[in-house]
Structure 1
Amino acid sequence: MESAHLKLHKNPFYPVTAETYGAYAVLIVAGLILSVGIIGNVSLMCIVCHNYYMRSISNSLLANLALWDFVVVFFCLPLVVFHELTKDWLLGEFSCRIIPYLEVASLGVTTFTLCALCIDRFRAANNVQNYYEMIENWVSTTAKLAVIWIGALLLALPELLIRQLVTEETDPPEVTTPCERCVIRISTDLPDTLYVLGLTYNGARLWWYFGCYFCLPTLFTIFSSLATAHKIRKAERNSVRGSKKQIQLESQMNCAVVALAILYGFCVIPENICNILSTYMAAGIPRRTLEILKLVSQLMLFCKSAVTPVLLFCLCQPFTRCHSRLQSDCRCCLAPSHNAPD
């Protein structure tokens, strides 16, 4: 009877079946996202940290976002891929709870960072003729970043209450180990207060997720960017020769913020679709289809974390220039540059 609990895991790559090609595709895509995400986010953090003239509040916000994106890609992506290939959670119930928590917290960090960037860009456009340059002291910068992190982490805490790891027998049961699934299910062992909190959050999760992590950053970025663009056009009409370069850089940064918001919205849409289908149409959709959609939505979130620094390197001239130097000398940004900070 004990031997029934000593079953072997199924090898996703052998023998070759239709599922094998899917396993290779997941592995290749995950490897690409992991490589780009680690290199891009580390490069972005290095550029901001090692160059005093890149330490504006906007660049500090972007470096903070890069740090969080690095954490999510480096720690969560391998665990998600491992589960997809083996149908087993590497760290058991801990990974079942912590991965959704970190993913939702990542959405919160991105949401609040986009809002903070929009506010800072509006201030910069409003003062562009005075050569706006917000290189703040470390106390002020740390306080702003702490608000973003604490807010995102606290808002994501209910995710830890609504997850459980369940084990299901596979078909045929003697071939592989029982399949472990991480499901939304509130434990009855929780204290009454936490149990009620979990029930309330679970009931409102769909629309809270959609409103806070999709509508808020999207609408806020649209209206703020339009107001900022109006200020930039006004500054262009009244500009003198010395301020034209600064106005151009402010316009680039405003476009970069809009591009980040578009990328974020595009990558979050699959997660919202998955939540809607799971809530209202789960009975009519095969479980495997929902699992594939959930995997795609997770990979899109990881893709957002990997592509964000690439967008900045392509759209922002100071980042592009310093990244080019970084490729030839990892300490290029130690030398002060007298170009505009943004």
Structure 2
Amino acid sequence: KRRLPDRNPFYPVTGESYGAYAVMCISILIFTVGIVGNIAIMCIVCHNYYMRSISNSLLANLALWDFVVLFFCLPLVIFHELTKDWLLGEFSCKIIPYIEVASLGVSTFTLCALCIDRFRAASNVQLYYEMIENCISTAAKLTVIWLGALLLALPELLIRQLVREELEPPEVIPCEHCVIRISTALPDTLYVLGLTYNSARLWWYFGCYFCLPTLFTIISSVVTARKIRKAERTSVRGNRKQIQLESQMNCIVVALAILYGFCIIPENISNIVSVYMATGVPRRTLDILHLVSQMMLFFKSAVTPVLLLVLCRPFSKAFLDCCCCCFEECGPPKSSEPNSDDNDQDGTTELELSPYSTVVRRDPSTFPIAGTHC
């Protein structure tokens, strides 16, 4: 059979080529911002002693999954959109939806865990800041999040198939589509599981990955805010800064939930249209809607670390310190500054009291200065 020439999405210049250029530019921007931001969050948490709390471990875990989604899924999705071929064939058709759904599970459970941790902190601010979360406890919580997300996403591997669509005339290059179709070659048990999951997928997706984190975050944040206001009325002067930082962290968790909910809405719309209105909607429209839903997922993975770096002063300070060291723009040596010791002490104290850090009332000189190991 004669091999058809490879498709060039950028030439000749047509309406579709303009769309290809737009998709390429947007994806490069999302990829660059997301990779840099998520690596920064992970490095900040790993390299700072005062940032190794359960909340920061959860945020670093979320950054790790966002990095995986951007690094592995985004290039393959864009390659398929431009060439209409799956780079790794059947494997990429199955693994990309699996990773995407697993990342939604990680985001959902992480938001819930952050809400629980914030409620625990608001219930007893002084006690919370005098205890350390040991590594075993943190690893156990992260393991539960990983196992829950990975297991709940496993049925996605059963319902995907790669279909090659032959077009007319024969000179036109055929397209490959990754469709929801359960293979009859599966064992009976897996085949029934795939059918059951496929029939309930729309509402399971909507309930578990949208309603659960949204409603849980709203309810928990309201209760936590009431606890914080109560603590403000009964607190002594020394605890007020801790309470203010707790309020800030509670607001940031709400912001993360709003971003997550906003970016997951297109996926739910795409699922509803595909299930209930697929016969009356052109195939190209369905493909565009699916692409938009995937791009919004990548957008969420890229904007989440930016949101943390902008809203959280300890994160932004550590990030700027690292950039300053890497580019050798730190200015004159600290020893030449008359108030350098005071400034360093203030920065460390702020990190110690931060809701993103675990605090022990010890001499800060026994530990490294809060900052990255650039």
Aligned residue for 1:116, secondary structure, equals: helix
- Aligned-CA RMSD value: 1.6
Cα distance in 1 for partners of 2:119, 2:44 equals 24
Aligned residue for 2:321, secondary structure, equals: helix
Indicate whether 1:104 and 2:115 are aligned. Answer: no
> Partner amino acid for 1:296?
V
1:260: which partner in 2?
A: 256
1:242-292 per-position Cα deviation (integer Å, ceiling 9, x unaligned): 111111111111000000000000000000000000000000000000000
Indicate whether 1:308 and 2:308 are aligned. Answer: no
Cα distance in 1 for partners of 2:110, 2:216 equals 12
Cα distance in 2 for partners of 1:294, 1:330 equals 40
2:88: which partner in 1?
A: 91
Cα distance in 2 for partners of 1:193, 1:164 equals 18
Deviation at 1:330, TM superposition (A): 5.0
Deviation at 1:320, TM superposition (A): 1.8
Aligned residue for 1:63, secondary structure, equals: helix
| 1:280-295 equivalence runs, <5 A | 280-295=276-291
Indicate whether 1:152 and 2:149 are aligned. Answer: yes
> Partner amino acid for 1:317?
R
Indicate whether 1:167 and 2:164 are aligned. Answer: yes
| Number of equivalences | 336
| 1:19-168 equivalence runs, <5 A | 19-130=16-127, 132=129, 135-168=132-165
1:251: which partner in 2?
A: 247
Cα distance in 2 for partners of 1:133, 1:86 equals 56
**The 10-residue stretch of structure 1 (134-143 or 206-215) with the greater mean CA deviation from structure 2:** 134-143
Cα distance in 2 for partners of 1:169, 1:135 equals 61
Cα distance in 2 for partners of 1:118, 1:9 equals 50
2:203: which partner in 1?
A: 207
* Shift in CA distance, 135/329, structure 1 to aligned 2, threshold 3 Å: farther
Cα distance in 1 for partners of 2:236, 2:152 equals 46
Deviation at 1:134, TM superposition (A): 5.2
Deviation at 1:36, TM superposition (A): 0.7
> Partner amino acid for 1:79?
L
> Partner amino acid for 1:30?
S
Q: Whose radius of gyration is greater, 1 or 2?
A: 2
Indicate whether 1:337 and 2:320 are aligned. Answer: no
2:234: which partner in 1?
A: 238
1:278: which partner in 2?
A: 274
> Partner amino acid for 1:218?
T
> Partner amino acid for 2:220?
S
Aligned residue for 2:348, secondary structure, equals: coil
Deviation at 1:130, TM superposition (A): 3.6
| TM-score normalised per structure 2 | 0.87
2:9: which partner in 1?
A: 12
| TM-score normalised per structure 1 | 0.95
Cα distance in 1 for partners of 2:304, 2:146 equals 18
Cα distance in 2 for partners of 1:64, 1:307 equals 15
Deviation at 1:173, TM superposition (A): 2.6
> Partner amino acid for 2:117?
D
Deviation at 1:171, TM superposition (A): 3.6
* Shift in CA distance, 131/112, structure 1 to aligned 2, threshold 3 Å: closer
Aligned residue for 1:291, secondary structure, equals: helix
Matching residue within 189, 193, 209 for 2:189: 193
Q: Which runs of 5+ in 2 are unaligned?
A: 331-344, 357-374
Kept in 2, the 8 Å contact 1:73–1:305? The answer is yes
1:61-99 per-position Cα deviation (integer Å, ceiling 9, x unaligned): 000000011011000000000000000000000000000
1:327: which partner in 2?
A: 323
1:17-56 per-position Cα deviation (integer Å, ceiling 9, x unaligned): 1001100110011001100110000000000000111011
Kept in 2, the 8 Å contact 1:165–1:181? The answer is yes
Aligned residue for 1:337, secondary structure, equals: helix
